[in-house]
Amino acid sequence: MDPLDFLQSDHLLSDDERTIGQTVSDYAKAELAPYISDWYEAGKIPTEIIPALGKLGLLGMHLTGYGCANTTATAYGVACRELEAIDSGLRSLVSVQGSLAMFAIHRWGTEDHRQEWLPRMAAGEAIGCFGLTEAGAGSDPGSMRTHARLDGDDWILNGSKMWITSGTIADVAVVWAQTNQGIRGFVVPTDTPGFAAHEIGRKLSLRASVTAELALSDVRLPSTAVFPEVRGLKGPLSCLNEARYGILWGAVGAARACYCEALEYSLLRTQFGKPLAGFQLTQRKLVDMSIAVSNAALTAVQLGRLKDTHCITPEQISHGKLANVRSALEVARTARAVLGAAGITLDHSVMRHMNNLETVSTYEGTEEMHTLSIGRALTGIAAFR
């Protein structure tokens, strides 16, 4: 009996998917885990790790062509799980690169966009970010104020974007803006005059991740910079669904890591002459965590299979994101309680994961928005307004 995979959910994976998971796990434990607490405490992450992630094939790994690995969606999810078992910031880096910036270019860009950016992004030689959220337009992206206007054959962009992962280290930004043709997406090299990115500091969560505000002041782009076909929110929401899918897998990794640490600690720490694990109330905590991790893992595998057969719906992804992140947060809090005072230090991972998951529960759709999305699917009634 494997206490970390009680229902043997990994047996539902293919040999290739398990191999990918083990490869990512081995790399992450050797090259990332020893340093992640220091990166978190310092509030930064070294960009030198990005080409290594590209060499492993993790950047845009579920996309086809252009140097991408063309894996199954389930394999991509397993990789997200193993990265977030170390830290949510690492999975966020890979998610934003592959599921937001690269996916947007791959799905909605021109062939010139794809040829120019995707091979370098897949290799980790170019970094992307995704500019949708604004300070006044989070859950309601349709109210964004960033706008683009035609000036001859050029587009002029003005506005700002907030909470943008990788914003200050990106070479290219996918920016969504209001136009007289509806919301449209633009491929914006970050060295374009008028583009600026400012790092957001003083974070208590996702500290091992770069978060920025983008400022666009009369950014002039050629007509070829715009995504040619997509209009409205269809474009950005399709990208968010890709990222949410990775999140629901990543949450399994964070939950499993917290549960594993609590289990190990409870077997080693003694009180009243016996291990903590020998007390009924502690065993109840461990059982609750095991059930939560197992249920989240099974949810992820099922949604992976639905995605691989092109049968998944946005509402099902909302189910996975809402349920798995909620469960992971509860596991992290319970694990912290098992560790007692030791659990609040960076010598252990549980409170770092707990802080990160507070952000994960908000970005790519808040609990409230996912709840209403599922509610609409169940009832046929939209309760957003």
Residue 182 CA: distances (Å) to CA of 132, 133, 143, 248, 383 = 14, 17, 11, 31, 24
Pairing of strands 172-179, 128-131: parallel
Amino acid code (one letter) for 12: L
Q: Check if the beta carbon of residue 75 is closer than 8 Å to that of residue 247.
A: no
Q: What is the helix (H) or strand (E) element at residue 218, kind and residue range?
A: strand 211-221
Active site residues: 364
Q: Cβ of 198: how many Cβ atoms within 10 Å? A: 13
Rounded to the nearest 5°, which phi and psi values hold at 207?
A: -75, -30
Determine contact, residues 260/94, Cβ cutoff 8 Å.
no
| Angstrom distance (rounded) from CA 249 to CA 379 | 27
Contact 185, 175 (CB under 8 A): yes
Which structure tokens are listed for 276? 């903590």
Instruction: Tell me whether residue 111 is exposed, middle or buried, using C-beta atoms within 10 angstroms of its C-beta: 0 to 12, 13 to 18, 19 or more.
Output: exposed
Kindly tell me the sign of the dihedral angle through the C-alpha atoms of 357, 49, 44, 61.
negative
State the amino acid at position 40 in one-letter form: Y
- By CB atoms closer than 10 A (0-12, 13-18, 19+), residue 18 is middle
Provide the 8-state DSSP code for 171.
S
- d(C-alpha 314, C-alpha 303), whole Å: 11
Q: Which residues make Cβ contacts (< 8 Å) with residue 47, sequence separation at least 6?
A: 127, 169
Instruction: Report the C-alpha gap between 267 and 276 in whole angstroms.
Output: 6
CB 148 within 8 A of CB 156: yes
